[in-house]
Structure 1
Amino acid sequence: MTGRDDGRRHTDVTAPGHTDSTWARELLDHLRPTGRDVARIVDWLGVTVDAAVSLRDGNGTPLAGAPTPLDEGLVTDLATGRLASASWEGDGRHLRMIRVELPPPAAAGVLAVARTAPFDRRTADIVAHTAAALELLLRAQRTAATGHRLARATSDLRLAILQLLMVEDTSAARRVAAGLWPGLLDTDTACVYVVESSPADRDRLAEACIEATREQSLVVRCPAVDAHVIVVTPRDTAGADLRALCHRRHDTFLGGSARQSLAHTAAAYGQAVSALAVARFRPDKTAVYAERTHPERLMDPAALGAWTSRLLRPLDALAHHTRAELLATTRLGLEFTAVSAAKVLGVSRNTVRARMERVENLLGADFSDLAARAAVHLALNTEACLTEACPAGDRRSPAATPARLVDLLTGPALRTWAHDLLARLDADGRDLRGTLRAWIAAGGNAERAAQLLGVHAQTVREHVRGAEPVLERRLLAAGSDLYEVVLAHLVTGALGPPGLHADPRPGPSPGPRPDPPPRPDGHQA
């Protein structure tokens, strides 16, 4: 017999060991966040009413439970909405079917409950309430899935904007951002912050950063480091907001850049990562990139600009887009590993390496040599500063006497800076200075440096790691901090200059300048 079922044809019989509220509490438990599972609810219903239970869509595809033979005509009536529920009795079997709304693309499904005993009032109530609970759960899952897809798309869009900024394509970045975040990048300058927590907590940290900056910043889950969240913000108050966030959260650290041109987001990102390394040792867990005395500020500006122009001149013949792409990739590749740079840029690591190899060939630089990397890094930063200071016109006037890198490193102020920096290492009882010099000469390879020094590679690593807090610079990770230390070695003559196309040598190049004798206080002059 088929037809509509009002659920009131049987007397109310309570099964032994159950009360009217027990099943309701159990069903409610299945709807709690930790227990939301359609298959488990269907299984629970089968045990509770001593029945075979199945859930299927209108096409007969099983969704949960063991498949049950059903009248397909009746299933069609339920799936199309002609019937809300139906029952069938015969051959010693009692069957109840209820229409259940399903997430798209399916319109509706059928919950089928088959048992040998008739459906009393209590059993009918349990079935009806379970069907309603399944509908609520499926609707919640659909809403959650839609929310997850939207959140994922928004996250991907934020990453795409960051990647455009990293390659200095600010116009495209503004166009992409304008649709969802109008006015976000309507700025010439911005700061970059890197917030660090545990990888497991990063999603919550990213949401907290969005809330802390009032959705007026570009917040991106770093594609290269699982524990990092990158924040690009034009707001002056964002730094204070993020510092307050770090103070409230356990094991959360913040590194920030100096304010930079939006086109120099990659350089600002490097500054933020450098500051983050300092923040890990500070009580307040935050640090902003220190405006310390950088070596390029102690060089003759005209000579430095002319040398930079000559070094990068082979790139000028390239199309503007290609040149900018190569420079942006090389800048990131010198700051981080090829793998990390690839993740940040959204390209393969082979693409990063190919672009950097092309720059190597054009500039005549060997990037396995840390001195060459430091020299090219110096040129890229100098050009970025020149571009910002003079964005239009020809800003690279050739000097009357071409300067070489060794000429740039001879100024008295620069020599004082270099000697004072490296002299910090002399206070340690270990030979940190000698180990660091050998490690740099070996291209940052601990094994090769160990062979030169006749020590174990682990000793080299420990000495380099021990030099980091003394110099207040990251050394084991490539980047600006390391290249400053390399330049200091070039200035003191502890290392010879790298071979570059821009450094013609008309005569014999000067030999390494020995370090001056120590002062009475133990420091170098």
Structure 2
Amino acid sequence: MAGRPDEGPAFQQPYGGDSAWAQELLDQLRPAGRDLRRLVDWLARTVNAAVCLQDGRGDLLAGEPLPLDSAVVADVFAGRVSAASLDDGVRHVRLVGIRHPGSGQAAGAVLAVARPEPFDRRGTEILGHTVAVLELLLGQRESAESARRLRRATADLRLAILQLLMVEDTVSARRVAAGLWPGLLEQDSARVYVLEDAAVERDRLADACVAATDGRALVVRCPAVDEHVIVVGPSAEVGERLRALIADRSGTFLGGSPRQRLALTATAYGQAVTALAVARFQPDRYAVYAARTRPAQLMDPAALRAWAAAVLRPLDALPHHVRAELLATTRLGLEFTAVSAAKVLGVSRNTVRARMDRVAALLGADLSRLPVRALAHAALNTEAAHGPYDLSGGAAGPPVRTRLTELLGTSALRSWAEGLLGRLDEDGRDLRGTLCAWAGADAHAERAAQALGVHAQTVREHVRAAEAVLERRLTAGGTDLYEVVLAHLVTGELPVPDLGVTAGTGAANPDQPDSAVQW
């Protein structure tokens, strides 16, 4: 301190009155200015030096690459020295370890500053304060990265649980969920909801669903559709909370399934997607899958189960876990595209196709044919809904033997089919004929157009019109389409196919379809 005798104490301005850099450095801590590259560039300009910031692997975080003594750098990183000064006769180099809480003695990064003139007091002071700011920014960055990794790991765990439910492995799904969400899957049944918003809003929507359900539901970013969030909610309260959530989000839609067993999560998911299509046209942007008469409800339950078991019997010689995996994959592959099924299951589309091809070969089924896919879908869903059926009869008595034509030939089923397809007759266009030709052509508009002698675009327009009349999704495939195909089989407008069953007797094995299936 110095001053004239007639004055009070006077404080000298530090560094010759140059304190502008302090304010500039302070600006680097403002929320809008927290950027490592920006800070390092500022340091380079302020001390007239080349600056390099690198991490422990030697990767450049900011600045420009500098030739450095690797041994000295290693010492700084390891914490054996906190800083080092080097002078090779051409440049003066300062190396400083950047640490942050939790890093221990080792440095999280090393800052190297090189310039032709020696470091004066001003340069040394600026460098020291900049290191302190870098420690704050790197610590904040590491905390943000840790939080991101935790969110990603949690999201991956939720997806893994959903994928286990999709393949009916409820035991493993409960075991995985128990660690983070105790009691979440204790109930044997749940509802599945699908929410839709713009893809750029999906992450915020998923976070909002997690907050709204408060640990009472499994929230998953759909791996197949970028705009969708899937929620599995055992509690009825979950649906109420999701409806309240979308009420404040004008661009969000919600579709829900009825309560289903956890083993039928894949079925419930398909129902929720169907309800979502309806929700887009509802004032409150919400819909629940409508319970309507299903063809399976109009068939004799025991006869239907016996037929389905006989169709699937060639797979019975497979190990249980292999059989379950093949059937679960095939059910999803029939309900959705192979690409979507692969994303939901977390496998490649080639894996999905390979599994479906294996099932098709064992069943002797040509799954490229739409009527065959419809029957295979019916058999798979029957077993999924009711469990395995003992074809030997066991203690319950002799086994039931039923021809498919008998199953499809009941008066109740024919009345249902005629009522469904009869809606198309009220349209002035020949929607019914076009739809039949399109289904017979395995949903190929061009082939159907050739058979009808019309343009392919006319076929597509008629099919879309039929969707509105029948209130079913047809072009997207899945349950709605298979029911319409089944209606055509019942009325005789399409021939009833087989699944490769041959006549004769003999023991069942994975390579020989069982003769108990009668057509």
Distance 1:452 1:249, change over 3 A: same
| Pair 172,96 (structure 1): closer, same or farther in 2 beyond 3 Å | closer
Cα offset for 1:172? Answer: 1.4
Measure how far apart 1:272 and its partner are: 1.3
Aligned position for 1:508: none
Does the CA-based 8 Å contact 1:261-1:388 persist in structure 2?
no
Change (3 A) 1:286 1:365: same
- Measured against aligned partners, the alpha-carbon deviations of 1:279-325 in whole angstroms (never above 9, x if no partner) come to 12222221111111111112222332232232222222332222222
Give the stretch that moved more between structures: 403-412 or 333-342: 403-412
Counterpart position of 1:484 = 483
Matching residue of 1:159: 159
Once residues 71 and 315 of structure 2 are traced to their aligned partners in structure 1, the CA distance between those partners, rounded to angstroms, is 74
Q: Distance in 2 between matches of 1:203 and 1:396?
A: 53
Other structure's SS at 1:229 match:
strand
Q: Please show how residues 338-487 of structure 1 align to structure 2 within 5 Å.
A: 338-387=338-387, 402-487=401-486
Are 1:173 and 2:173 counterparts? Answer: yes
The superposition leaves residues 435-485 of structure 1 with CA deviations (integer Å, 9 ceiling, x where unpaired) of 111110000111111111222222222221222222111101111111111
What is the match of residue 110 of structure 1? 111
Note if contact 1:306-1:396 (Cα within 8 Å) is conserved in structure 2.
no
Matched residue, 1:24 = 26
Runs (5+) with no aligned partner, structure 1: 1-7, 506-525
Aligned to 2:225: 225
Residue in structure 1 matched with residue 199 of structure 2 by the alignment: 199
**Judging changes above 3 Å, is the alpha-carbon distance between structure 1 residues 62 and 300 closer, same or farther for their aligned structure 2 residues?**
closer
* Corresponding letter in the other structure for 1:447: E
Change beyond 3 A, Cα 1:120–1:483? same
Letter in 1 for 2:315: L
- The count of aligned residue pairs is 488
Pairs within 5 Å for 1:176-191: 176-191=176-191
Change (3 A) 1:396 1:258: farther
> Relative to 1, partners in 2 of residues 1:22 and 1:167: Cα closer, same or farther, differing over 3 Å?
closer
Matching of residues 243-322 of structure 1 within 5 Å = 243-322=243-322
CA offsets 1:111-141 (integer angstroms, 9 cap, x no match): 53647597565x6664443222211111122
Unaligned runs of 5+ in 2: 1-11, 505-519
Contact 1:307 1:502 (C-alpha < 8 Å) held by counterparts: no
Q: After the TM superposition, which residues 32-111 of structure 1 pair with which residues of structure 2 at under 5 Å, given as runs?
A: 32=32, 36-56=34-54, 63-66=61-64, 98-101=96-99, 106-107=107-108, 109-111=110-112
Question: Secondary structure of the residue that 1:254 maps to in structure 2?
Answer: strand
Residues 55 and 110, structure 1, Cα contact 8 Å, conserved in 2: yes
- Would the alpha carbon gap of residues 158 and 257 (structure 1) be closer, same or farther in structure 2, given more than 3 Å must change? same
Percent identity (aligned)? 60
Q: Do the aligned partners of 1:178 and 1:184 also contact (CA within 8 Å) in 2?
A: yes
> Is contact 1:195-1:229 (8 Å) kept?
yes
Other structure's SS at 2:232 match: strand
Q: Answer yes or no: is the 8 Å Cα contact 2:255–2:279 preserved in 1.
A: yes
3-state SS of 1:110 partner: strand
SS of the aligned residue for 2:477 comes to coil
Q: CA RMSD in A?
A: 3.5
Question: TM-score under structure 2 normalisation?
Answer: 0.83
Q: For 1:247-289, what per-residue CA distance to the aligned partner results, in whole angstroms no more than 9, with x for missing partners?
A: 2223222111111111111111111111112112222221111
- The structure-2 alpha-carbon separation of the partners of 1:377 and 1:396, relative to structure 1 and needing over 3 Å to count, comes to farther
Inter-partner Cα distance in structure 2 for 1:59 and 1:389:
60
- Whether the 8 Å CA contact 1:243–1:286 is kept in 2: the answer is yes
- Between the aligned partners of 1:384 and 1:119, the Cα distance in structure 2 is 79
Given the two structures, how large is their TM-score scaled by the length of structure 1?
0.82
